[in-house]
């Protein structure tokens, strides 16, 4: 059976789900949103994606995208009115790879040091900060990471920098990375951010499914 629109399993605060929602919103693809609570995942999601991470996008033909970058690429291949993919793809991939690899590694061990044996939060914060200083240097040259326009890389990375900043916002604000702060604060103040951070109740089978993004 063909569904009316794709179904997105999402969790509001998850940075991976956030980047997927950002791309869906930018591309204007509307989906039926199923808000997931991670400790109480719906069996409908696990049935289609046994690895059980969010986001998951189930397309109209029932094919399943279970990686956030795949959801972004799918949405932007459908429509990319803001030119997120116009930037140099090799640069996008390099920046996103650094984010999803080493930066995420250090972010997790900074934010949740007690979950990792022997992890010292300050050491991981320092290692993550080296990466953020590189981003700050880049943002001192241009308003966005890949030039004068926002790209895939900015929106794939911003949710993770937000999470890093929120771990200790006073410490973050005391660091010498003015361009990074302007970039993050611009994102946090944007209508796009507000639109993708709207709160939805946990979805259970049979519940109404809000259309995302809202008109």
Ligand X SMILES: N[C@@H](CCC(=O)N[C@@H](CS)C(=O)NCC(=O)O)C(=O)O
Pick the binder of ligand X from 38, 46, 120, 197 (CB under 6 A): 38
Buried b (16+ CB within 10 A) or exposed e, 55-71: bbbbbeeeeebbbbbeb
Residues 64-123 binding ligand X (CB under 6 A) are: 67-69
Q: Are 59 and 135 in contact (CB under 8 A)?
A: no
Site residues (CB under 6 A) for ligand X, limited to 49-68: 53-55, 67-68
Nearer to ligand X, 150 or 156 (CB): 156
To ligand X, the closest distance from the beta carbon of 93 in angstroms equals 14
Kindly state the helix (H) or strand (E) to which residue 212 belongs, with its residue range: strand 211-212
Of positions 7, 8, 14, 45, contacts ligand X by CB under 6 A: 14
Residue in 132, 148, 144 with CA at minimum distance from that of residue 186: 144
- Given a contact cutoff of 8 angstroms between Cβ atoms, the answer to whether 6 and 57 are in contact is yes
Comparison of 39 and 169: residue with beta carbon closer to ligand X: 39
143 sits near ligand X (criterion: CB under 6 A): no
Question: Contacts with ligand X: how many residues (CB under 6 A)?
Answer: 9
């Amino acid at each position: 059976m063909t569904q009316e629109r794709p179904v997105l399993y999402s969790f509001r605060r998850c940075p991976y789900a956030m980047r997927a929602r950002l791309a869906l919103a930018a591309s204007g693809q509307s989906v039926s949103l199923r808000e997931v609570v991670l400790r109480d995942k719906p069996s409908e999601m696990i049935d289609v994606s046994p690895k059980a991470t969010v986001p998951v996008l189930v397309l109209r033909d029932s094919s399943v995208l279970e990686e956030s970058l795949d959801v972004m690429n799918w949405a932007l291949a459908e429509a990319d009115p803001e030119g997120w993919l116009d930037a140099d793809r090799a640069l996008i991939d390099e920046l996103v790879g650094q984010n999803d690899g080493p930066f995420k590694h250090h972010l997790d061990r900074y934010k949740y040091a007690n979950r990792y044996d022997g992890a010292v939060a300050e050491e991981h914060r320092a290692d993550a900060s080296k990466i953020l200083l590189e981003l700050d240097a880049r943002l001192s040259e241009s308003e966005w990471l890949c030039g004068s326009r926002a790209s895939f890389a900015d929106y794939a990375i911003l949710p993770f920098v937000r999470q890093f900043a929120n771990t200790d916002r006073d410490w973050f604000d005391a660091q010498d990375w003015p361009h990074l702060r302007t970039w993050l604060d611009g994102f946090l103040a944007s209508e796009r951010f507000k639109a993708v951070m709207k709160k939805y109740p946990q979805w259970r089978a049979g519940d109404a499914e809000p259309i995302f993004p809202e008109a």
